[in-house]
Amino acid sequence: MKGYTMKIYVAGPLWEEKQRKKLEKIDKICKELGFDTFLPHRDVGVFTKGDSKPFFIKDSKVIDSCGLMIAILDWKGIGSGTAWEIGYAYAKNIPVIGLVEDKTSLNQFDRVCVMVLNSVKLVENLDELKTELKKKINHQNSN
């Protein structure tokens, strides 16, 4: 897997420590597989007040430089920042993997809007995520 240098943007809710820990678990998996990552709260910080433009500029430029995005789609729905990041990545033809608990309940409870739902490759747990990431590596290595 050496030589594989795709950068992955890890998107999701940032406001609570528990949420950031989920993102950090994804980051760890990516790094174990040899990917470079961008975690907004680690690499830019969490916006609280003041001028938000630097956060916007940095995050959007990093998305431009990534080959993949992984986004947590929370049970309660999806945060507006994460939804924007997914839409931006989709518009830039950057694939997005959406990590969601219980795929079978998505349509039943309208948990994720149809625009996001149709912009991502859904996985249900970290094992499925690893499988998808390994497919990316295998695809890259075969080219």
Q: What is the pLDDT of residues 60-112, one digit of tens each?
A: 999 999 999 999 887 566 788 888 999 999 999 999 999 887 666 665 555 66
pLDDT of res. 21: 87
Tell me the angle at which helices 17-32 and 126-142 cross, rounded to the nearest 10 degrees.
40
Diameter over CA atoms, the chain: 47
pTM of the model: 0.85
Query: Could you tell me if 77 and 71 are in contact, meaning their C-beta atoms sit under 8 angstroms apart?
Result: no
Where do the domains of the chain lie, and which CATH numbers do they carry? 7-142 (3.40.50.450)
